[in-house]
Structure formats: structure tokens, C-alpha cells
Amino acid sequence: MFSDQSFGRDCIGLLRRVLEQRGVGGFAYCLMPDHAHALVDTSQEAPLSGPVQAWKSLCYRAWRARGRSEAFWQRSFYDHALCDGEDVIHAARYILWNPVRAGLVASPHDYPLSGSFVYDFDTLTR
């Protein structure tokens, strides 16, 4: 579904909106053609499932507004909490380099559906 870059950009806007409404920082995101990665600040007490489900629902509504009806999200999602000592910047860089590792682009700067709502993209992709 994210091969459609216009739809992907819409979903990035929706992700920003959901995270801002819930006061959650979006350290990094990358919408690959068939899945998505997001590194978010979950230091608040609220469970991660709330923002994830809200975002998935809004993206699906946007998908339907484009005349598409087939489902594309899995019911659940996979999460991994950074352990003490794991660097947020390192994890964000890992996410932003996914399209390069997948052979989609030569540089993270060439991939239009990734970024950060918190950090400078150029700093993260060095």
C-alpha cells in the first residue's frame, strides 16, 4: 500500500497528527512498500496500542476515501522496547536506513516516506 507515495505521505501526516494529539514524540518513521516502522516515545503511562490503532484506523479511512476497499493492516503489531543503554539515535538511524538495506534506494535521502518529527533528518542519516 505504501508503494503509492501519495497515500504514504497522507499516512505520514496522519501519524504526525495522532502523535501530536497524544503528546507522543515521533523519533523516526519509515513506510516501506508493504510495512511500516516507527520509533516513538512511550515514556508516558499510556499504552502504545492506542496511538497505533488510531493511526491504522485513520490510514484505512484514507485508503477507503481513495476508493480502495481491501484490508491491508494486520490485526496486531510488533513492538520492541529499547532497553536501558540502547541509543534512540542509533535506533532511529537503523529505521531510516531500511530502504537502503532493502535495495529500494542508494541513500536514505532518496526515500520520500521516512523521516523524524523530532530530530533533524540529515543528522540522523550521517
Domains of the chain in sequence order: 5-124 (3.30.70.1290)
Mean pLDDT of 96-120: 96
39 versus 79: the higher-pLDDT residue is 39
Query: What confidence tens digit (pLDDT) does each residue in 44-88 have?
Result: 666 788 888 999 999 999 999 998 888 877 777 877 778 777 789
pLDDT of amino acid 113: 96
Which residues does 19 contact at the CB level (< 8 Å), separation at least 6?
A: 25, 26, 40, 51, 117
pTM (2 d.p.): 0.89
- Split at pLDDT 50, 70, 90, the class of 24 is confident
